Structure 1
Amino acid sequence: MITADRLHSVQEYYFSKKLREVRSLIDEGRPIINMGIGSPDLPPSKETVSTLQHVLEDSKAHQYQSYQGLPELREAMANFYESRFDVRVNANTELLPLMGSKEGIMHISLAFLNVGDEVLIPNPGYPTYTSVTNLVGAKPIMYDLTAESGWLPDIKALERIDLSKVKLMWISYPNMPTGARISMAKMKELIAFAKANNILVVNDNPYSFVLNDDPTSILQVEGAKEVALELNSLSKTFNMAGWRVGMVLGSQEHITAVLKIKSNMDSGMFYGIQKGAITALQSGSDWFKNLDEVYERRRKLMFELVDKLGAAYDTNTAGMFVWAKLPKGSKSSETFIDEVLYDKNIFIAPGTIFGSNGEGYIRFSLCVEEDKIREAIARF
């Protein structure tokens, strides 16, 4: 049986392939320390886990669920955005729970892109933006993010591009993979650019509450709902990556379009996970404070490791990664991380998996216990 032509437009996800290699080294008995993946190793709150455990006896727990999620989950998400971002959305019409924000990237692309439409994608950026764009038959148009620009879009450079076929633009702030923050002024500039060029801007925003004392949402800009959607997730904020709980927020028109796709692709999120998510979203300020204290200790240690490698980094970043520039004259990012993997038994992500502008950079995840980071330092 011949596979679909669209499969020629994508490759297996880098981490899917690389982690097989890492697992094979572990199976050989090598003491690999994995600093490549942003999968939280900390548990959800006890209250969240307890909620999941106790709803399993509920008669509703094992039935099909609404495509739009429980009303109380939507309310909890809307309340979370109001309390944490000062953004108000209608829980019934301007918000849609997702099985993780990653599926939202596909749903949004299917809802708004025709074959041949063009999509602005950050370089460096999350590789899924490009692969999904290719899968739906649209054309990726890479736009540069650089250290000199603070890893922010250069609007003047974007305006010099032929934008006549551009329908969608992906951004991600706090940025993945660099950790760069975005200002209100820049968000206003992006919304004005989107309105002037009839482009839907989507902010992928899962790192808002990790080592970030000023969480931002693109929906904080007045009038943003006309031309913007925002994805968010409980994965990083509440250590629930495996639970697969996310959300997309925007205008009723845009959310309805996404729902048309989603309702044809799943049969609702498991009831117990929805109930646990509600509990997580109601966490108090102590949860965020304690989470940041753990990540701050880890980041200080990670800076020590990066110093050992002679790499440079910005201390004023957000999120759960350290993005580091290799010393001048270093080998390519992928050659460098392979040498570290086989010589020191430490896996680090090469910047090139996020785009050509990632060459010369490497990325460390903070989802590693402090003792393991100290061990990694000792290996150098």
Structure 2
Amino acid sequence: MITAAKRLDEVKEYYFSGKLREVRQMIAEGKKVINMGIGSPDLPPSPAVLDAISGSFNDAKAHEYQSYQGLPELREAIASFYANHFGVSLNPVNEILPLMGSKEGIMHISMAFLNEGDKVLIPNPGYPTYTSATKLVGGKPVYYNLSEANDWEPDFEALEQLDLADVKIMWVNYPHMPTGAKGSKVMLQKLVDFAKKHSILLVNDNPYSFVLNTDQLSIFQAEGAKDVALELNSLSKTFNMAGWRVGMVSGNATLIDAVLKVKSNMDSGMFYGIQKGAIAALNSSDEWFSNLNETYNKRRELIFTLADKLGCTYNRNTAGLFVWAKLPAGIEKAEPYVDSILYDKHIFLTPGTVFGSAGEGYVRFSLCASEDVISQAIQRF
């Protein structure tokens, strides 16, 4: 009998993979399920992006294997994007590595820097992939709790009380998913100082800076960050290109080279046309961001109305594609509550526990549904 590798004993199927199968089955049975659980943008990329990919098909090298480091002009566009929007200087030659989505970067970074038994600081609540990637390479997750009382920022006094001797990586994610907490430059500087003190690789996962947010933060705005930090970013949410799988990791040349050693053994470069589309996206005008946020702001106001209908409470001053809300008074468990809404009202929401034990008592609403669809959801209550 052929058995799977023991490393798979340490991880579960991704929550949305299994739950969306159930949702698809309900739809197949004729139930009109409204999916407000997953953050998959339903809006199209800009016409300039679509023109760039379609116009690239007849280029001489369009269908060849591409460089593991991406087109030089893509790395230059990323560097310009960081300079223009974050005020950060990155060398496009050796401090930027394009990725097939930032999710693969989480795995590549874990493979590049973790040995068996190394510990990893992971936010709770936080993105589940930080945990699964850590376990798949033999690392040990060490969770640090975030709380609403502390604006979902790290408690540095509590961090100092942990046994940090074997900690190799610390994952952070601001603007934060799932809570939408924006973070601050003061917090980022504290994180860099903490990482330096304890010789920890600090990785900021930063795909939500431009969604319902006007104060863009990068870990590299903190003094000394390049000595100890990497930053992931993505075009999925900012430019409605989730299915295109375009991301990047930035940092000093030595750290980037380590990630490249993994990546170059895992794929053969991103499709040429997608890179051309990414360049067009990165060169978008300010009008693109303002129009995108106008749409999401209208949707968020309707989500607030839906949350009010349910008796949930929430913070209106957040960033990102989601509304993170506390369950109605008297309801303690998120998963049974979310399932009851799915089966009774045919609306799929995400229980906070998907993101860790500190997510118990919360539910997450996605803004990736049209105003008409959100209005339908409201009417069901």
1:327, CA displacement in angstroms? 2.1
Residues of 2 paired with 1:331 and 1:96: CA distance? 43
Superposed, which structure 2 residues align to 1:131-146 within 5 Å?
Answer: 131-146=132-147
3-state secondary structure, aligned to 1:185: helix
Instruction: String of CA shifts for 1:88-126, please: whole Å, max 9, x gaps.
Output: 010011010000000000000000000000000000000
Indicate whether 1:86 and 2:84 are aligned: no
3-state secondary structure, aligned to 1:148: helix
Instruction: String of CA shifts for 1:30-79, please: whole Å, max 9, x gaps.
Output: 01000000000000000100110111111211000000000000000000
Q: Partner of 2:250 in structure 1?
A: 249
Indicate whether 1:120 and 2:121 are aligned: yes
Q: Partner of 1:150 in structure 2?
A: 151
Q: Partner of 1:75 in structure 2?
A: 76
3-state secondary structure, aligned to 2:142: strand
Residues of 2 paired with 1:223 and 1:120: CA distance? 20
TM-score (norm 1): 0.99
Indicate whether 1:378 and 2:371 are aligned: no
Q: Partner of 2:13 in structure 1?
A: 12
Q: Partner of 2:35 in structure 1?
A: 34
Residues of 1 paired with 2:332 and 2:260: CA distance? 46
Q: Partner of 1:129 in structure 2?
A: 130
Q: Partner of 2:186 in structure 1?
A: 185
Structure 2 regions of 5+ residues with no counterpart? none
Indicate if the aligned counterparts of 2:78 and 2:282 stay in contact, CA closer than 8 A.
Answer: yes
Indicate if the aligned counterparts of 2:7 and 2:136 stay in contact, CA closer than 8 A.
Answer: yes
3-state secondary structure, aligned to 1:141: strand
Indicate if the aligned counterparts of 2:75 and 2:93 stay in contact, CA closer than 8 A.
Answer: yes
Residues of 1 paired with 2:367 and 2:313: CA distance? 17
Residues of 2 paired with 1:221 and 1:93: CA distance? 20
Indicate whether 1:336 and 2:337 are aligned: yes
Indicate if the aligned counterparts of 2:332 and 2:360 stay in contact, CA closer than 8 A.
Answer: no
Residues of 2 paired with 1:56 and 1:181: CA distance? 39
1:328, CA displacement in angstroms? 2.7
Residues of 1 paired with 2:59 and 2:192: CA distance? 45
Amino acid of the residue matched to residue 44 of structure 1? P
3-state secondary structure, aligned to 1:158: helix
Q: Partner of 2:198 in structure 1?
A: 197
3-state secondary structure, aligned to 1:61: coil
Indicate whether 1:347 and 2:348 are aligned: yes
Indicate if the aligned counterparts of 2:311 and 2:329 stay in contact, CA closer than 8 A.
Answer: no
Residues of 2 paired with 1:140 and 1:300: CA distance? 37
3-state secondary structure, aligned to 2:316: coil
3-state secondary structure, aligned to 1:247: strand
1:139, CA displacement in angstroms? 0.2
Q: Partner of 2:264 in structure 1?
A: 263
3-state secondary structure, aligned to 2:107: helix
Q: Partner of 1:234 in structure 2?
A: 235
Residues of 2 paired with 1:14 and 1:182: CA distance? 27
Over the residues paired in the alignment, what is the CA RMSD in angstroms?
0.5
Amino acid of the residue matched to residue 38 of structure 1? G
Indicate if the aligned counterparts of 2:181 and 2:318 stay in contact, CA closer than 8 A.
Answer: yes
3-state secondary structure, aligned to 1:52: helix
Q: Partner of 1:284 in structure 2?
A: 285
Residues of 2 paired with 1:181 and 1:48: CA distance? 28
Residues of 1 paired with 2:275 and 2:223: CA distance? 30
Residues of 2 paired with 1:188 and 1:48: CA distance? 35
1:223, CA displacement in angstroms? 1.0
Amino acid of the residue matched to residue 39 of structure 1? S
1:3, CA displacement in angstroms? 1.3
Residues of 2 paired with 1:255 and 1:229: CA distance? 8
1:293, CA displacement in angstroms? 0.2
Amino acid of the residue matched to residue 138 of structure 1? G
Residues of 1 paired with 2:5 and 2:355: CA distance? 26
Aligned pair in 2 of structure 1 residues 325, 192: CA closer, same or farther (>3 Å)? same
1:243, CA displacement in angstroms? 0.3
Moved over 3 A (4+): none
3-state secondary structure, aligned to 1:122: strand
Amino acid of the residue matched to residue 217 of structure 1? S
| Identical residues among aligned pairs (%) | 65
Indicate whether 1:300 and 2:301 are aligned: yes
Instruction: String of CA shifts for 1:235-257, please: whole Å, max 9, x gaps.
Output: 00000000000000000110000
Residues of 1 paired with 2:158 and 2:337: CA distance? 32
3-state secondary structure, aligned to 2:148: coil
